[in-house]
Structure 1
Amino acid sequence: MSVIDLGGGVSWVHESFPETNGHIHVSVYLVEAPEGAILMDSGSFHHRQRLADRIHDATAGRGIGAIILSHSDYPHSGNIPAFRRDWGDFEIIASCGDPDLQGLPYARRTKIGDVIEVLGRRFVVLDPPLADRNHTTWVYDEASRTLFVADGFGALHAPGACDVDWGRLPEEGRAEGVHEFHAQTLPWLRYADPNRVMGALHAMLDRHPPAWIAPIHGPPIAEADVPRYMADLEAALTRIAASYA
């Protein structure tokens, strides 16, 4: 299974690859809107054909009408040229106010705090407390209450556990997977105050309560599992900061 329905018109489409101490997801998410299908990020070019085949099947051959980018490095934007050849000049929503800087002069610009409409569906553009690049945004889908995030909220997982959401990962090693992901992916966390990072995240979740948190580099986190994930994340950030104190 590689296309999983999260409800509310949102589907998780994913691949994984080996990373130190586990596997890591490179996911995209399909969102059904009144005027077509929206893709959250474009995925890695290493998985291009498999992703394209799954998107083709999931949309009954229609393909996509828009992509919303979290940011523009290759695991997130690398398939845009190929997908445009497959499905035409669909709309691209950039993750910043100056798409030229991302090599996307034809993309629609966004600003933190914008409420945007894409193919008839509304999203809130948010400032990410956990990111690995400048010009990164998270978006909150008001209809499904899904918070799409990159690169934070990830987790490594064991081989064979690629198709389950975070709460159904084996409990043994689950917290370690959260730590390993953030330690490997976000090196700036060694200099950050864990309390301030967690405070910003809690404030965001209070303003935009998610039915799902949908990471690009981890399994989706259901609403019931968010408190457990946040506890594991806080422990991970504290451990990362302490290891460099």
Structure 2
Amino acid sequence: MSVIDLGGGVSWVHECFPETDAHIHVSVYLVEAPEGAILLDSGSFHHRQRLSDRITDVTAGRGIGAIVLSHSDYPHSGNIPAFRRDWGDFEIIASCGDPDLQGLPYARRTKIGDVTDVLGRRFVVLDPPLADRNHTTWVYDEASRTLFVADGFGTLHAPGACDIDWGRIPEDGRAEGVHEFHAQTLPWLRYADPERVMGALRTMLERHPPAWIAPIHGPPIAEVDVGRYMADLDNALTRITTGDAAWARPGATRPTEVR
């Protein structure tokens, strides 16, 4: 596992799971704030000790002062009890207005559209166009212009591409990695209107322009690469709804398989 500095006080901390012949990230992000370190999601319990050790090392033993959750599935919230034993009763910012329903009665409530202060750092709470649960939220860090997202914007990647951002993944297979991730993770997309989904995403990115898009289940996407990712995602969504006929669109090319 590695820790990679994205700038602006944001670090990418990641692990991977093997997925057939490719890997899928289960990432968390550390954000330095005036009053302590903030963790975006808690990671999978499978990686608990390695995450705890790495976070302890990066924070010089201080640990974290808050967790901001995207949603409460185990890969996102499963380490909270153990981390509270490690670092005390840090603040938890829930991903919905009723954290009791998520089994987090001690968490702070949030609402879509809120601008919330966490340890002296401001986050905008956003309604995600790509999510696998209806209690999911995305957050935008105004200081670093980082958009933290789950579960959309993921990518399956080859085993040798675990420690690099999306733009440095070899182009051969990259588009297929975007397609396969969304086809497997968000099955409701087969019933969606790709134009409406992409329109909602473009509107969000215009209102909150990201220096980085920071997915939980994929490598970070740099600002310079967002346009290419969006083009791959657009083709992926159309392919999911219409099958391989999507690749007959003008200008579209059929991707190779992830190896």
Coarse TM-score class (shorter-chain normalised)? over 0.9
Q: How does 1:51-70 map to 2 (within 5 A)?
A: 51-70=51-70
Contact 1:21 1:156 in 2 (8 A): no
Tell me the distance in 2 between the aligned counterparts of 1:58 and 1:150: 24
3-state DSSP class of the match of 2:153?
A: coil
Q: How many percent identity over aligned positions? A: 91
2:86 counterpart residue number: 86
How far the C-alpha of 1:217 sits from its partner, in A, is 0.1
3-state DSSP class of the match of 1:177?
A: helix
When the two chains are superposed, the root-mean-square deviation of aligned CA atoms in Å is 0.6
The gaps in structure 2 that reach 5 residues or longer are 241-259
Tell me the distance in 1 between the aligned counterparts of 2:172 and 2:12: 24
Contact 1:66 1:91 in 2 (8 A): yes
User: Could you list the per-position Cα deviations for residues 159-190 of structure 1 after superposition, in whole angstroms to 9, with x for gaps in the alignment?
Assistant: 01100000000110000000000000000000
Aligned residues: 240
User: Could you list the per-position Cα deviations for residues 68-95 of structure 1 after superposition, in whole angstroms to 9, with x for gaps in the alignment?
Assistant: 0000000000000000000000000000
Q: TM-score, normalised by structure 2?
A: 0.92
The gaps in structure 1 that reach 5 residues or longer are 241-245
User: Could you list the per-position Cα deviations for residues 93-141 of structure 1 after superposition, in whole angstroms to 9, with x for gaps in the alignment?
Assistant: 0000000000000000000000000000000000000000111000000
Tell me the distance in 2 between the aligned counterparts of 1:117 and 1:10: 16
Q: TM-score, normalised by structure 1?
A: 0.97
How far the C-alpha of 1:20 sits from its partner, in A, is 3.0
Tell me the distance in 2 between the aligned counterparts of 1:22 and 1:2: 18
Tell me the distance in 2 between the aligned counterparts of 1:113 and 1:199: 19
1:243 counterpart residue number: none
Tell me the distance in 2 between the aligned counterparts of 1:2 and 1:122: 26
Tell me the distance in 2 between the aligned counterparts of 1:175 and 1:51: 29
How far the C-alpha of 1:219 sits from its partner, in A, is 0.1
Tell me the distance in 1 between the aligned counterparts of 2:84 and 2:135: 22
Contact 1:212 1:223 in 2 (8 A): yes
Tell me the distance in 2 between the aligned counterparts of 1:202 and 1:16: 28
How far the C-alpha of 1:21 sits from its partner, in A, is 4.2
